[in-house]
Chain A
Amino acid sequence: MTQPLIEIRSAPHVKGPRSVEMIMRHVVWSLLPICAFYIFQYGISALASIVVVTATCLLAERAFVRTGTQAGRLADFSAVITGVLLALTLPPGFPLWMGAVAGLVAIALGKALFGGIGFNVFNPALVGRAFVQAAFPTSIATYTPSFLAGRFTEFIPSSLALPLMTPAGTADWLQSKNLDALAGATPLAKWKFDGVVANAIELLTSLSGHIAVGPAPALILLCGVYLAVRRFMDWRIPIAVLGSAALTAWLLYAFDAARYPNPFFMLFSGGLILGAVYMATDMVTSPVTPRGMWVYGALIGLLTVVIRYYSGLPEGVMYAILIANAASPLIEKITQPVTFGRGAPGRSREGSPGYVSRTDANAAIPKKRFLRNKPKK
């Protein structure tokens, strides 16, 4: 005789299909076209970089999950996202062993140390990138131009450096391709050190040949729109980041057009679009309150432009996002939404739309029994 199975569960009884694993899977899918275009731009080196960095992240994640001290599982796709995003922020010809170091640091220092998925304070991919930026400043600034002939059969020479060894310089290799060494400078570095402002449309599509850029901004925006429409990402953060960066850049451009580049150049160069759409929107490290998201995004945009203009570094998105990550618990605290039925402190509910007071409605005021100061008649 089988007993009928009675399940006793606590609420919620109706569950949506959205789980961490499902959201992360969709983010990975949305990253695939970006990766494909990136590989189309830079060929086999970019492919190797993405594979090696992601594999290192997964291996590190597996090692830490096995210790039993971590939240999350290997199968929740979060380490894949970290790896792919990290690889997309690195130069295509970044030595593979350094990429592996970056992946290991990203998972170990950026995520496992805090207790796994959901507990990290900083975006893991950016922690990994910040570490290799500080450890190998030359290699991370060495870009190569896109759409080189023979990119699908030939590695960029710096990719295949032996572990712990200095990568080969790319100047000779570029010369053999009839390009000068300057072709390897990113548009931001060219602007910062030579005062050359690249065409914003070229940067947006990244289709015109031989410019040293990251993944195409237009494609990232498109994939971002997909994520925002499917509600896998909050649309407020990218809008706030890009809006605030554009506004700051536009104000400075209006102030002195000779000294500052136009805001479109600011928006589409470097990693701002990738950072705004994929890095800043990391659910763990960004505020959950709607107003907090605006503040957080605006902070990133402002800091990015300030770092790009006034520091020694050509690019500032990474540090801007890391600083905003650190500030996000505080932002969350000061932007708590008002509980239903309770007015904001110091503000009367009268005058807010949709609220009609008794006096407005000419309703009879009921006699109050215990008035401390009786109105004189």
Chain B
Amino acid sequence: MNPATTKTWDEFMEGVWRQNPVFVMVLGMCPTLAVTVSAVNALSMGLATLFVLVCSCGLVSMMRKIVPKEVRIAIYIVIIATFVTVVDYAIQAISLALYDALGAFIQLIVVNCIILGRAEAHAAKNPPLPAMVNATGMGIGFVIGLFALGAVREILGAGSLFGVSLFGPDFQPWVIMVLPPGGFFVLGGWLLLFSWIERRKQRRLTEATQNA
């Protein structure tokens, strides 16, 4: 692989894994905890955020040289809000049931700190293509995070995945998993798993360097 591809791949994987917005940076917790009751909700919320993130980061990056420093946040918010409105109407048109299930959290994508954070920290300093690659990585990381929560909560809370029953009609739903505390429990469990993997990796690394 040539260096340019490696760097692009690196930028992309940063959001997906190393700087995963849900499991590593612990950003955007409102939608993460609130709409992950089922896998479908979680996935559509993640995809909506991914779309807004990629589009607004591209536009912010294109406009980075003409935006005055003093009013940049206001301009970013207007850009993000535009794309959120697009997503808002699109979801309404595709599925009203999903729109009702997600509720105010679609509009609240505007204030999602992942998007504003990416715009401020990355897109405003980089050309459009790397900015969009980085935003795609972050967005996919967010989708993975939301889906991980939503899948566990739906499997335990309703005995199904994407509405398909997994354990038959006799399944005993864990009511707590579809309640807000369930979101915290599952998120805590995932964070525990990720930090355990990270620590084990670090330990292996130090052992390898010591042996070498």
Q: Could you tell me which A residues sit within 8 Å of B by CB distance?
A: 95, 98, 109, 131, 134-137, 139, 161-162, 164-167
Contacts and interface: CB of A to CB of B under 8 A. Distances in A.
Interface in B106-146: none
5 residue pairs, one from A and one from B, having the closest CB atoms: A134-B176, A135-B176, A135-B174, A166-B172, A165-B170
Q: Specify which of B159, B176, B181 lies most central, judged by the most chain A CB atoms within 10 Å of its CB.
A: B176
A136 B172 contact: yes
B67 interface: no
B167 A164 contact: yes
A166 B176 CA distance: 15
Contacts of B181: 134
Given A95-B172, A134-B179, 9 more contacts: A109-B185, A135-B174, A135-B175, A135-B176, A135-B177, A136-B172, A137-B175, A165-B171, A166-B171
A163 to B, nearest CB: 9
B175 A134 contact: yes
A137 B173 CA distance: 10
Contact of B172 (A109, A131, A161): A161
Nearest to B166: A164
Nearest to B157: A135
A136 B170 contact: no
B79 to A, nearest CB: 42
The size bracket of the interface on B is 10 to 19
Contacts of B176: 131, 134-135
Nearest to A109: B185
A331 B134 CA distance: 51
Contact of B171 (A131, A136, A164): A164
Q: Specify which of B167, B170, B177, B179 lies most central, judged by the most chain A CB atoms within 10 Å of its CB.
A: B170
A261 to B, nearest CB: 30
A98 B175 CA distance: 13
A122 B185 CA distance: 16
A167 B172 contact: yes
A141 to B, nearest CB: 12
A161 to B, nearest CB: 7
A161 B172 CA distance: 10
11 contacts: A131-B176, A134-B175, A134-B181, A135-B175, A135-B177, A136-B175, A137-B175, A162-B170, A164-B159, A164-B167, A166-B170
Interface of B: 159, 167, 170-172, 174-177, 179, 181, 185
Nearest to B170: A165
Contacts of A134: 175-176, 179, 181
A164 B174 CA distance: 9
A139 B170 CA distance: 14
A339 to B, nearest CB: 41
Contacts of B177: 135
Contacts of B159: 164
Nearest to A101: B174
A136 B179 CA distance: 12
B135 to A, nearest CB: 35
Nearest to B177: A135
Contacts of B175: 134-137
Contacts of B172: 95, 98, 136, 139, 161, 164-167
A109 B171 CA distance: 24
A133 B174 CA distance: 10
A166 to B, nearest CB: 4
A131 B179 CA distance: 12
A129 B167 CA distance: 25
Q: Specify which of A136, A137, A164, A166 lies most central, judged by the most chain B CB atoms within 10 Å of its CB.
A: A164
A110 to B, nearest CB: 13
Contacts of A165: 167, 170-172
A165 B177 CA distance: 16
Contacts of A167: 172
A9 to B, nearest CB: 35
A134 B183 CA distance: 13
Nearest to A131: B176
B35 to A, nearest CB: 20
Q: Specify which of A95, A139, A166 lies most central, judged by the most chain B CB atoms within 10 Å of its CB.
A: A166
Contacts of B167: 164-165
A88 to B, nearest CB: 22
A131 B184 CA distance: 13
B172 to A, nearest CB: 4
A90 to B, nearest CB: 15
Contacts of A139: 172
Q: Specify which of B159, B172, B176 lies most central, judged by the most chain A CB atoms within 10 Å of its CB.
A: B172
Nearest to A167: B172
Contacts of A98: 172
A135 B175 CA distance: 4
Contact of B174 (A95, A136, A161): A136
A76 B170 CA distance: 40
Contacts of A95: 172
A162 B175 CA distance: 18
Contacts of B170: 162, 165-166
B19 to A, nearest CB: 26
A137 B175 CA distance: 8
A4 B206 CA distance: 43
Nearest to B179: A134
A137 B176 CA distance: 9
Contacts of B174: 135-136
